[in-house]
């Protein structure tokens, strides 16, 4: 029996023009298309296709120039059509005309709810063997439309996320072919979608195209019985297709490329069949979340919506109550959709980190799994942030202690009445520990939901430039003095640049005068500080004169050697070998310090902890109870400290490199602040400002030792 002829719907380009910009191809092309050439190109395509299939025509309507792209009329399967709901108002007027045509032809027409964008066969392509439907989302169609497709068309729907706005519809970069072949442009999709494609289409059936072919709309091809019609296809790609038994016909469609469409966009296949589905499935998982706080002023709503989309999900705002006054909070309820449970869990976990809440019903009970191997967490563990966190267990919210980033939450409830939860590093997990998994029953108190303190409003998160440095230094000096006055704790994390830039006497002054309660750093800051105390040089450079000293390159090694001879920095101070500097002041004023080793360390000094797990523990102990951490020109140690510091501790990062400062100041904490400047200059200004605040707060800084 000969198969029924393929039927294709087209629409003559009588009213075609580029009248607006709704995709990157239209930019710069407004009214730049030639009506005559468009007519001639469309006719040529029509003739080529008419040799392969029966062409049906829908009447063009004045005022709707893109009606020529019939792929977006709807999605047809058998006698059923899911009518498009255009994303852009510029095309929404096409809907009634396509609807009328389908109804006249006797199709059963399904219409999606009003706010659910779906752009027909532009974003939904059947596997040519009818096994499933590939459905795109990300720019035009919404992921939330996919479950409707699955239900109405009785088919499995595989959701693919588009990430390159040039390929805004699935059919611009994806073309399923006969016998399970697939022509596609992989970079147009996110990693998850590429993995899904690779799972369903074996490697020998996948035909990836180059960017050059993709931008000539090679994937926007129409295939009928192994004949492929497209705008332009490179000779390499043509050879590849021919080797698989496809005949390739190209026809100039450059006038339509100006609007972002080619052969496939200009056609809608009306004769589509599918294998009977065991069960209609759209791999779409959904959950409701609520978010409350200063959603608009703090940009939290945008951040949440971006988080959803960037991680491969989509959202629908179900309820939005905006506070009517500046001090009022707002709240929003969102339905979050994702193509899989795993993707949804990742998105929800990020939203919880932003302060989102899952609805408080019986399902909020936290999920606990037991550790079976020391130092290894159950697979689905929840990763902690710097924000205060609570977990819902046996009908009550339990606050998590020892909050830090990148840990897991362990719950202890031996006596059942007073459950306790704490943050723990994976490596410290013991067999039998019960670890919080999944996303249910977890909530965090994010910055936007925390009360802003008027007093410290100047400490808002931000990165300053040189211009504001002096003003910021005044504010930091004031803050340091307040912490000192109330017996609080300031921790300094410092790198060797402090010494090279002449900041050493200033930092020593801060320690001597009681502004620093703990010092953290690597081997280098200590080596160069001690070298300066002994030789007046830092890496062999005389800081007093700014010149290298003959033989100075050996100074730091000689210093390390002598300290090793004494057995510790403290012993060298005791023996009067060290008589000034940062570490001298630490020893003299009993300010504890921790030195964490690294692979590039010389020596190391006896105090440098080369066991990094122990070094992390020492750091973590010293930052306990800190009010403020001053991070001075060390990317490595500052980031390490940032990760173990809970929200609520003010972080001030000083570095000459804006990228380092941004990374540290941008940890989403209200209290972090970055200053892009030379650290020596910063310390000198800070000490001057503290002196200005007057005695008894600070004595003058002694001059630099000159060799």
Ligand X SMILES: NC(=O)c1ccc[n+]([C@@H]2O[C@H](COP(=O)([O-])OP(=O)(O)OC[C@H]3O[C@@H](n4cnc5c(N)ncnc54)[C@H](O)[C@@H]3O)[C@@H](O)[C@H]2O)c1
DSSP H or E segment with residue 623: helix 612-623
Please state, in angstroms and rounded to a whole number, the distance separating the CA atoms of residues 408 and 390. 13
Let me know if 146 is a catalytic residue. no
Scan for tokens 């009977």, then name that residue: 276
Q: Is residue 189 a contact partner of residue 162, using CB atoms and an 8 Å limit?
A: yes
User: Toward ligand X, which CB reaches closer, 53 or 494?
Assistant: 494
Cα 570 off chain centre by = 46
Nearer to ligand X, 33 or 501 (CB): 501
**Nearer residue to ligand X within complex by CB, 348 or 560:** 560
Which of 441/495 has CB closer to ligand X? 495
Q: Which residues pair with 397 in a beta bridge?
A: 392
Q: Please, what is the minimum distance in Å from the beta carbon of residue 523 to ligand X?
A: 4
- Closest distance of CB 573 from ligand X, Å: 20
Name the minimum Å distance from CB 697 to ligand X.
25
Q: What is the nearest approach in angstroms of ligand X to the Cβ of residue 384?
A: 25
Task: Compute the distance between CA of residue 298 and CA of residue 396 in angstroms, rounded to an integer.
Answer: 30
Q: What is the binding site for ligand X (CB under 6 A)?
A: 495-497, 501, 522-524, 527, 598, 600-602, 633-637, 655-657, 660, 678-679
Beta bridge partners of 288: 335
Is there a contact between 393 and 413 (Cβ–Cβ < 8 Å)?
yes
3-class DSSP state of 403: coil
Nearer to ligand X, 631 or 670 (CB): 631
Specify whether the CB–CB gap between 266 and 42 falls below 8 A: yes
Q: Is 265 a catalytic residue?
A: yes
**Nearest CA-CA partner of 156 in 259, 252, 272, 278:** 278
Q: Rounded to the nearest whole angstrom, what is the least distance from the CB of residue 356 to ligand X in the complex?
A: 33
Q: Give me 356's structure tokens.
A: 């989102």
Cα-atom radius of gyration of the chain, to the nearest Å? Answer: 33
The Cα–Cα gap between 591 and 514 comes to: 9
CA distance readout (Å), 33 to 253, 255, 257, 645: 11, 6, 10, 59
Q: CB under 8 Å to 666, separation ≥6 — which residues?
A: 461, 672
Mapping DSSP onto H, E and C, the string for 481-550 reads HHHHHCCCCEEEEECCHHHHCCCHHHHHHHHHCCCCCEEEEEHHHHHHHHHHHHHCEECCEECCCCEECC
**Nearer Cβ to ligand X (343/523):** 523
Least distance between ligand X and beta carbon 652 (Å): 13
Half-sphere exposure of 371 (CA within 13 A, CB side): 24
- Pairing state between β 434-437 and 408-412: antiparallel
Q: Tell me the residue nearest to ligand X as measured from the CB.
A: 522
Q: Hey, what are 576's tokens?
A: 């009067």
The alpha carbon of residue 632 and the mean position of all alpha carbons in its chain are separated, in whole angstroms, by 27
| Nearest distance, CB of residue 497 and ligand X, angstroms | 4
- What distance in Å separates the CA atoms of residue 523 and residue 601, rounded to the nearest whole number? 6
Q: How far is the CB of 546 from ligand X (least distance, A)?
A: 14
In 584-626, beta strands by DSSP E:
593-596, 608-609
Cβ neighbors of 45 (< 8 A, separation 6 or more) are 229, 251, 253, 263, 266
Of the pair 211, 470, the CB lying nearest ligand X is at 470
Note whether 676 and 656 are within 8 A (CB): yes
Cβ-based nearer residue to ligand X, 20 or 566? 566
Beta strands in 597-645 (DSSP E): 608-609, 628-632
Q: Which of 11, 146, 169, 653 is catalytic?
A: 169
Closest contact distance (angstroms) between CB of 600 and ligand X is 5
Angle, helices 635-644 vs 658-665, to 10°: value is 10
Q: Which is nearer to ligand X, 181 or 619 (CB)?
A: 619
* Shortest Å distance, C-beta 612 to ligand X: 10
- Catalytic residue from among 11, 173, 219, 265: 265
Collapsed DSSP state (helix, strand, coil) of residue 312:
coil
Least CB distance to ligand X at residue 190 (A): 32
296 or 636: CB nearest ligand X:
636
How many beta carbons lie within 10 A of that of residue 134, not counting itself? 24
Q: Which residue has the tokens 């479950």?
A: 147
Helix-helix angle 555-566:523-535, to 10 degrees: 100
What phi and psi values does residue 471 have, to the nearest 5 degrees? -60, -45
Nearer to ligand X, 424 or 539 (CB): 539
Our CB check for ligand X shows the closer of 421 and 497 to be 497
**Least distance (Å) between residue 629 CB and ligand X:** 15
- Crossing angle of helices 679-692 and 504-512, in 10° steps, is 40
Catalytic residue list: 169, 265
């Amino acid at each position: 029996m000969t198969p029924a002829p393929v039927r294709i719907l087209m629409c003559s380009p009588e009213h075609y023009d580029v009248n607006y910009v709704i995709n990157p191809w239209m930019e710069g092309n407004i009214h730049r298309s030639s009506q005559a050439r468009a007519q001639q190109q469309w006719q040529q395509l029509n003739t080529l296709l008419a040799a392969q299939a029966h062409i049906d025509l829908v009447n063009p309507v004045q005022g709707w120039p893109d009606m020529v792209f019939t792929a977006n009329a709807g999605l047809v399967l058998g006698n059923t059509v899911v009518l498009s709901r255009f994303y852009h108002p510029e095309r929404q007027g096409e809907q009634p005309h396509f609807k009328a045509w389908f109804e006249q032809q006797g199709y059963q027409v399904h219409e999606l709810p009003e706010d659910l964008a779906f752009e027909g066969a532009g974003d939904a392509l059947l596997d040519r063997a009818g096994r499933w439907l590939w459905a795109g989302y990300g720019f035009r169609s919404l992921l939330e439309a996919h479950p409707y497709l699955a239900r109405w068309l009785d088919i499995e729907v595989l959701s693919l996320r588009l990430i390159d706005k040039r390929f805004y519809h699935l059919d611009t970069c994806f073309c399923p072919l006969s016998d399970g072949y697939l022509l596609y442009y992989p970079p147009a999709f996110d990693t998850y979608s590429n993995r899904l494609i690779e799972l369903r289409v074996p490697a020998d059936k996948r035909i990836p195209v180059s960017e050059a072919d993709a931008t000539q709309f090679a994937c926007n091809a129409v295939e009928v019985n192994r004949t492929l019609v497209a705008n332009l296809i490179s000779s390499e790609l043509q050879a590849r297709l021919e080797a698989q038994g496809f005949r390739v016909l190209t026809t100039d469609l450059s006038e339509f490329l100006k609007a972002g469409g080619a052969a496939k966009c200009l056609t809608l296949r009306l004769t589509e069949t599918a294998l009977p589905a065991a069960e209609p499935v759209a791999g779409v998982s959904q959950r409701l979340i609520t978010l409350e706080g200063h959603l608009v002023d703090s940009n939290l709503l945008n951040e949440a919506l971006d988080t959803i989309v960037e991680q491969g999900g989509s959202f629908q705002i179900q309820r939005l109550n905006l506070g009517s006054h500046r001090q009022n909070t707002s709240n929003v309820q969102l339905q979050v959709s994702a193509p899989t449970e795993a993707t949804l869990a990742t998105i929800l976990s990020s939203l919880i980190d932003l302060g989102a809440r899952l609805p408080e019903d019986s399902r909020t009970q936290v999920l606990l799994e037991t550790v079976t191997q020391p130092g290894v967490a159950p697979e689905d563990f929840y990763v902690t942030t710097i924000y205060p966190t609570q977990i819902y267990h046996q009908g009550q919210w339990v606050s998590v202690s020892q909050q830090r980033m990148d840990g897991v939450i362990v719950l202890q409830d031996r006596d059942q009445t007073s459950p306790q939860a704490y943050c723990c590093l994976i490596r410290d997990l013991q067999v039998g520990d019960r670890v919080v998994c999944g996303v249910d029953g977890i909530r965090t108190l994010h910055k936007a939901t925390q009360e802003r303190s008027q007093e410290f409003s100047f400490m808002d998160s931000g990165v300053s430039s040189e211009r504001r440095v002096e003003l910021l230094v005044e504010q930091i000096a004031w803050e340091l003095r307040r912490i000192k006055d109330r017996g609080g704790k300031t921790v300094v994390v410092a790198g060797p640049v402090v010494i090279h830039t002449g900041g050493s006497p200033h930092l020593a002054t801060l320690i001597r005068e009681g502004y620093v309660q703990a010092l953290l750093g690597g081997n280098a800051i200590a080596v160069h500080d001690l070298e300066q105390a002994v030789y007046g040089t830092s890496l062999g450079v005389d800081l007093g004169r700014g010149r290298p000293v003959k033989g100075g390159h050996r100074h730091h090694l000689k210093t390390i050697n002598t300290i090793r001879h004494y057995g510790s920095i403290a012993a060298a101070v005791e023996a009067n070998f060290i008589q000034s500097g940062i570490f001298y002041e630490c020893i003299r004023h009993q300010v504890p310090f921790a030195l964490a080793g690294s692979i590039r360390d010389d020596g190391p000094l006896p105090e440098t902890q080369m066991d990094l797990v122990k070094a992390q523990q020492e750091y973590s102990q010293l930052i306990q109870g800190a009010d403020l951490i001053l991070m001075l020109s060390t990317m490595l140690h500052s980031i390490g400290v940032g990760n173990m510091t809970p929200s609520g501790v003010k972080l001030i990062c000083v570095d000459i490199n804006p990228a380092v400062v941004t990374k540290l100041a941008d940890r989403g904490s209200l209290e972090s602040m970055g200053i892009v400047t030379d650290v020596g200059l910063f310390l000198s200004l800070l000490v001057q400002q503290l002196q200005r605040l007057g005695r008894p707060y600070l004595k003058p800084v002694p001059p630099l030792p000159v060799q």
